[in-house]
Structure 1
């Protein structure tokens, strides 16, 4: 794997010796190849020619980048992209091949590549090739999932896939169901919407609405969803050690009247921690409240027989969020909202005569409009279905187990590194927090500033992409940590060892620079 600091020239189709795209030749009018459609019997032929151009451009751009991130920081990236792609709206087109070669190469050179083991900042996975290939088919066929006559087969495939995923979450329920969403934000929004509508249905019995109770560790989308839906500000309770405290939830629910929804998390964004779901479910049930679990990160643990017990209590939730573009290796977006009974989705029903006329339904045409808040919706289910079939539950479970194991190996490497230390206690699903030992020798604000500068230094140099998170230390003080979220299905601890040396070296260089700076006026 190349770790060079430069951007070596890669001679290729239509490129000069320095690896830059050749100047475009203006054309007066689009040619037949430029306006070919992707579907019908001739579409694959046109796609085949253009796909080879795209693959060459991807390879050239990645080689020019030479690492997990383009070097130079935001200004340098913007300058290179604009120089390569200007003007984005020429008077005369340059043709499909040149346009693809130029644009794809420029974006690939300037990409953050989650397939690089040293790209670990976010819940941003490297998509499997099988999923990306299926996504090409989805784009070419372009079914819109809002009416059967736009997506006859894709509608059936989505029905089968959502049924299988719902059964994975709710194996002992009679009629579970699931929706394909754009991700955890939409899934959480729909979950709160459904809870609001259930509360409205009981308003005649004196209910004033639904109150959301969540932890400070909850994803920001929970609070945003409450705001969008006109719900009261959620009651945010304590999360000692990063997990939602059942006793705090108990106290919060005791002070509420009317319907309440407790939102727990299985795989927190900052630390990958799983809330104590069985205890939270028991507390919610004791107060007559419902439980929703945001398992966007942790949900795919269900694919593994060994790891699924970490999600014990999940079936007690009325709804569950999953994201397969995290620990499912799908190109974004591939979100899922599972519910324990299909009747819970009834509030989403909507009639639009041009999409789901009543007489069409009576004649047997399936109604798809109530399967999403969106109208036009791309067939994200195709890539999910191809991946599920290719790997099976056990194959996906093995990949999840690999990431969890790699995180444990990485934690051992951190513990053995003389210049770094890990956040005390256990680690999350596949997330490890660490920081330079040197940061502890400085006052707290200066130590956190050093951690932040290490991250930005690595980003600017294009050498590594590490995240940041604020979390409790052993003494209860909240400190800033570097974050490695390990989602690569093939990377090993050996691949990641150099990342720790990079972080330690960056911290040492920053300290040396600061020590050489002249002191300001006293």
Structure 2
């Protein structure tokens, strides 16, 4: 007699099936974090891989060990071996600690498992996405008549979509101009889309200089030559923001398409204190925003906002089994033009829950807290006699290094802290030197945590 299949997550019985499994998962997460004891596992790559091999055993056994054992063992191994962004000394990347409520919403999305490629797979989820993306697009473009936004996997996909929309309007002769501070995704997007390699404008002071950009645009030809200029609001290395109003003015004068990669800095719009940093953002034609960075969402939670929804019409696509013309004419929403992907998760649910729970003001408080933390860390670096600060932070990124140290020493300090499992710091090239990078995205971090980070760096520098 054939055994009964394992229970499913959805439907009315799904909640009862999930409940005991969640207890197992939550216990394993807690116990794994305690076993780790710090921001990441000690011992380096080989030690981490060995622990995983030992826990996993045979990846595809003939006979399974059951749900409880599998969850307990592997979730514990993953938690013990994680670089945990919720730990205040894990501060290397634009990799945010997700809010508990957003993670809980993501569980619901996984359990229901709607696929956002046709309405009959996602009736409620598609309506939530339409309402939330419209609201977020209006936040980016408050004066626009018909703004809209697409949900993406993050900045890389959003930037590629922005180039694609511009290419479809202007043709394959489109040139892209970026600063040396721009995200690498523009180069990859140009390659994927068959566009010329982007023109790179040097950014010796870290931001795109309007005069240097004007020279580059003049060298590309007159107003008949299609050009997209990609500015950055929150650079990956330093968290800097290009002079958006001046760049917007120049793009209008030169008849260039203006795109802003605000994957990092975009959520500063929620802050009444810091939203002025994004003055000029609404003059772009397209804007990239990631809420899995300064928005505390589990990945992925990217957006591409467009000032005019008509720009998205070129993404329209028909597959009779998903959006047949007669179904669309009868009023079923057509979802295929909402993404280049077909099957995709309802990633907007966690964002919708977060917006409803916290509101603009609640998210703004989190943004402000992390900006304040970056300033506090900069204060500590400036007061430390053996450390140099690159510059006062604009957003939540702080670059610093031991005074007079060689780049090899700076790199070694970072790797030592990683190998010992004591701190996770990033690295960035600036001013011809290598710097340690702290990206502060944990609003629960304390001044004591920042002081500990300084102490660890100073101690490693003097070994």
> TM-score normalised to the size of structure 1?
0.87
Which of 434, 437, 457 is 1:483 aligned to?
A: 437
Residue 328 of structure 2 corresponds to residue 357 of structure 1: no
Looking at structure 1, the residues matched to 452 and 378 of structure 2 have their Cα atoms a distance apart, in angstroms, of 14
- Contact 2:375–2:392 (CA under 8 A) maintained in structure 1: no
- 1:481 Cα offset (Å): 0.2
Structure 2 SS opposite 1:458: helix
Residue 433 of structure 2 corresponds to residue 433 of structure 1: no
Looking at structure 2, the residues matched to 314 and 438 of structure 1 have their Cα atoms a distance apart, in angstroms, of 39
* 5+ long unaligned stretches in structure 1: 1-27, 201-207, 440-446, 473-477, 510-522
- Contact 2:94–2:293 (CA under 8 A) maintained in structure 1: yes
Equivalent residue number for residue 63 of structure 2: 92
- 1:438 Cα offset (Å): 4.5
Looking at structure 2, the residues matched to 179 and 480 of structure 1 have their Cα atoms a distance apart, in angstroms, of 37
Structure 2 SS opposite 1:58: helix
Equivalent residue number for residue 458 of structure 1: 417
Structure 1 SS opposite 2:143: coil
Structure 2 SS opposite 1:76: helix
Equivalent residue number for residue 109 of structure 1: 80
Equivalent residue number for residue 127 of structure 1: 98
Which of 357, 360, 369 is 1:390 aligned to?
A: 357
Residue 463 of structure 2 corresponds to residue 504 of structure 1: no
Looking at structure 2, the residues matched to 495 and 226 of structure 1 have their Cα atoms a distance apart, in angstroms, of 42
Looking at structure 2, the residues matched to 316 and 403 of structure 1 have their Cα atoms a distance apart, in angstroms, of 27
After the TM superposition, which residues 285-324 of structure 1 pair with which residues of structure 2 at under 5 Å, given as runs?
285-324=252-291
Structure 1 SS opposite 2:205: helix
- 1:260 Cα offset (Å): 0.4
- 1:245 Cα offset (Å): 1.0
- Look at both structures and tell me which one has the larger radius of gyration over its CA atoms: 1
Report how many residues are paired.
460
Tell me the alpha carbon deviations over residues 206-246 of structure 1, each in whole angstroms, 9 at most, x when there is no partner: xx621100000000001110111000010100212100111
Tell me the alpha carbon deviations over residues 60-83 of structure 1, each in whole angstroms, 9 at most, x when there is no partner: 100000000000000000001100
Looking at structure 2, the residues matched to 348 and 497 of structure 1 have their Cα atoms a distance apart, in angstroms, of 50
Residue 297 of structure 2 corresponds to residue 330 of structure 1: yes
- 1:322 Cα offset (Å): 0.3
Looking at structure 2, the residues matched to 400 and 267 of structure 1 have their Cα atoms a distance apart, in angstroms, of 13
After the TM superposition, which residues 72-471 of structure 1 pair with which residues of structure 2 at under 5 Å, given as runs?
72-200=43-171, 209-257=173-221, 258-423=225-390, 425-439=391-405, 447-471=406-430
Looking at structure 2, the residues matched to 296 and 455 of structure 1 have their Cα atoms a distance apart, in angstroms, of 26
Q: 1:433 to 1:30 in 2, by over 3 A?
A: farther
Equivalent residue number for residue 444 of structure 1: none
Tell me the alpha carbon deviations over residues 334-353 of structure 1, each in whole angstroms, 9 at most, x when there is no partner: 00000001001111000110
- 1:412 Cα offset (Å): 0.2
> TM-score normalised to the size of structure 2?
0.98
- Contact 1:30–1:93 (CA under 8 A) maintained in structure 2: no
- Contact 1:455–1:467 (CA under 8 A) maintained in structure 2: yes
Looking at structure 2, the residues matched to 29 and 102 of structure 1 have their Cα atoms a distance apart, in angstroms, of 27
RMSD over aligned CA atoms reads: 1.2
* 5+ long unaligned stretches in structure 2: none
Tell me the alpha carbon deviations over residues 448-500 of structure 1, each in whole angstroms, 9 at most, x when there is no partner: 0000000000000000000000001xxxxx10000000000221222211011
Q: 1:308 to 1:30 in 2, by over 3 A?
A: farther
Q: 1:314 to 1:53 in 2, by over 3 A?
A: same
- 1:30 Cα offset (Å): 6.6
Looking at structure 2, the residues matched to 359 and 368 of structure 1 have their Cα atoms a distance apart, in angstroms, of 15
